[in-house]
């Protein structure tokens, strides 16, 4: 049995923000998780792969396209998990007897979905920018604020000033809330340091989060987020610093390289140079493309065979067809469009052109201080025109494909047992009742870690 109290400070579930359960029955609150990081350095609590039988699942969303519908729903289902991996999925009436001795989680007719995979976040940052939002709501533009040295530049200043310990303390709280809302894998970018040591600290914090919480983290080097103020008159000098010092230091801690290729950030030629330098260091490319305008980002993503083109609010049917042909995933960030009162990505068109569509929070302090994937799902349905099933698929399987994690984002034998039990009998409630927290339990690698 897992404890309803933090095993370290004794506070109950109602006295803390989040209680994370380990497989051996110990629980830790987010406050103590942070202390554990301070005390034990990188050695936080570990969740080992678990054995589990999810019984009495009212509706199971498998995302297994072998089933008739897009999200592969099985009614009256069971899921067997051994050593953290799904071993059997199907109607409960067909469950083989050998799985009945597994530790059972009675789901009481609730809905089970794959854990959310959030493939685009700027989760690691210090400070906040509510004042900037106030200014934007009074009519100032995001681009003007950035050009005047605010926006991303103000988060760079706050992040550099914070140092790694405060950066970790602020960021791990957000990560804990993401996990509590059902995210089991998250991509985290650097990009608010923009100098070698601060960029390195951001990536180290991202890794510490994954070592501390039962949350898989994929890291991306975004040293080319904007040209920092100290290099404003020397763009080439900044690119030289990025290639000669930042990349060598950061590449060992990252999987991907990303560039904000748009107005007020980096040109197509600059972005091409950074992506090539990243590739020489073993980092695969992804791109912030066509958020603020049709600025050539999509064409560059196709040219370099980027794993994903993110934002793509300004994209034509011909560009979409090229993305589909290149196998580049379109990562849509509806919370950023909402906050910017900006153009919405043409999700329906992208989907119909055959592009693989993923959804992400874009968690960042400027355009989307959003942590919960269910919020992105609801926005994708209401604002981008996807069906509930498409939005849910994009937030789970689509996210996994955007991170090249082909074994994630679905529930079928061999997949890691990363699941969310929703406290409802229909996944439609994620959209129908978008303001409620529907998460009942979160299962990571077969262990109940939330709830």
* Binding footprint of ligand NIG on the chain (CB under 6 A): 122, 151-152, 155, 260, 288, 291, 336, 362, 364-367
Quote the least distance from Cβ 89 to ligand NIG, whole Å: 35
How many residues can be counted in the chain? 451
Going by C-alpha positions, the residue among 365, 364, 356, 297 that lies closest to residue 329 is: 356
Pick 73 or 350: Cβ nearer ligand NIG? 350
Pick 285 or 366: Cβ nearer ligand NIG? 366
**CB-nearest residue to ligand NIG:** 366
| Cα angle value 451/28/39 (rounded, 5°) | 155
Quote the least distance from Cβ 216 to ligand NIG, whole Å: 21
Task: Output the six-digit token pair for 360.
Answer: 């992400």
Q: How many helices (H) and strands (E) does the chain have?
A: 16, 18
Bridge partners (DSSP) of residue 332 are 359
Pick 122 or 174: Cβ nearer ligand NIG? 122
Pick 56 or 143: Cβ nearer ligand NIG? 143
Pick 362 or 389: Cβ nearer ligand NIG? 362
Going by C-alpha positions, the residue among 400, 426, 436 that lies closest to residue 184 is: 400
Quote the least distance from Cβ 121 to ligand NIG, whole Å: 9
Quote the least distance from Cβ 441 to ligand NIG, whole Å: 31
Pick 155 or 328: Cβ nearer ligand NIG? 155
DSSP secondary structure string for all residues of 222-235: EEESS--GGGTT-H
Task: Output the six-digit token pair for 228.
Answer: 């920092």
Q: From CA 311, how far away is CA 403, in angstroms rounded?
A: 15
Quote the least distance from Cβ 314 to ligand NIG, whole Å: 13
Quote the least distance from Cβ 142 to ligand NIG, whole Å: 7
Asked if 192 contacts 226 with a C-beta cutoff of 8 angstroms, the reply is no
Pick 64 or 310: Cβ nearer ligand NIG? 310
Quote the least distance from Cβ 420 to ligand NIG, whole Å: 25
Residue whose token pair is 């009742």? 433
Quote the least distance from Cβ 156 to ligand NIG, whole Å: 9
DSSP secondary structure string for all residues of 180-210: HTTEEEEEEE--S--SHHHHHHHHHHHHHHH
In angstroms, what is the C-alpha Rg of the chain? Answer: 21
DSSP secondary structure string for all residues of 77-129: EEEEEETTEEEEEEEGGG--GGGTTSPEEE-TT-EEEEPEEE--------S--
Please report how many Cα atoms fall inside a 13 Å half-sphere around the Cα of residue 303, on the Cβ side. 14
Pick 155 or 308: Cβ nearer ligand NIG? 155
Pick 193 or 416: Cβ nearer ligand NIG? 193
Quote the least distance from Cβ 155 to ligand NIG, whole Å: 5
């Amino acid at each position: 049995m897992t404890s309803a109290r933090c095993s370290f400070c004794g506070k109950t579930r109602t006295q803390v923000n989040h209680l994370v359960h380990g497989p051996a029955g110990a629980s830790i609150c987010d406050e103590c998780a942070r202390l554990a990081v301070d005390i034990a350095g990188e050695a936080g609590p570990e969740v080992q792969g678990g054995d589990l039988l999810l019984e009495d699942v009212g509706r199971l969303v498998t995302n297994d396209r072998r089933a008739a519908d897009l999200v592969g729903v099985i009614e009256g289902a069971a899921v067997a998990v051994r050593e953290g991996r799904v071993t059997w999925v199907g109607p409960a009436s067909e469950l083989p007897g050998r799985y009945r001795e597994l530790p059972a989680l009675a789901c009481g007719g609730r809905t089970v979905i794959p854990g959310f995979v959030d493939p685009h976040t700027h989760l690691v940052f210090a400070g906040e920018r509510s004042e900037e939002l106030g200014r934007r709501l009074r009519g100032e533009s995001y681009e003007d604020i950035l050009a005047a040295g605010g926006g991303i530049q103000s988060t760079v200043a706050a992040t550099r000033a914070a140092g790694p310990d405060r950066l970790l303390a602020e960021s791990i709280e957000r990560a804990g809330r993401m996990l509590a809302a059902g995210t089991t894998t998250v991509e985290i970018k650097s990009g608010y340091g923009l100098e070698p040591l601060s960029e390195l600290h951001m990536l180290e914090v991202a890794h510490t989060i994954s070592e501390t919480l039962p949350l898989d983290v994929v890291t991306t080097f975004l040293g080319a987020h904007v040209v920092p103020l100290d290099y404003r008159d020397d763009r080439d000098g900044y690119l030289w610093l990025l290639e000669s010092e930042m990349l060598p230091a950061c590449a060992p801690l990252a999987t991907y390289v990303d560039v904000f290729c748009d107005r007020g950030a980096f040109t197509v030629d600059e972005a091409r140079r950074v992506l090539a330098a990243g590739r020489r260091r073993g980092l695969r490319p992804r791109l912030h493309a066509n958020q603020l305008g049709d600025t050539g980002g999509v064409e560059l993503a196709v040219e370099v065979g980027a794993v994903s083109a993110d934002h793509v609010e300004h994209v034509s049917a011909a560009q979409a067809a090229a993305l589909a042909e290149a196998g580049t995933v379109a990562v849509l960030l509806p919370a950023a469009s909402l906050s910017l009162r900006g153009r919405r990505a043409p999700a329906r068109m992208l989907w119909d052109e055959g592009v693989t569509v993923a959804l992400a929070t874009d968690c960042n302090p400027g355009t989307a201080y959003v942590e919960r994937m269910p919020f992105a799902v609801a926005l994708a349905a209401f604002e981008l025109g996807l069906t509930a099933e498409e939005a849910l698929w994009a937030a789970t399987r689509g996210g996994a494909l955007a991170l090249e994690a082909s074994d994630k984002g679905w529930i079928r034998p061999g997949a890691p047992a990363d699941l969310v039990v929703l406290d409802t009998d229909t996944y439609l409630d994620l959209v129908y009742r978008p303001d409620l927290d529907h998460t009942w339990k979160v299962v990571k690698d077969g262990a109940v870690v939330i709830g």
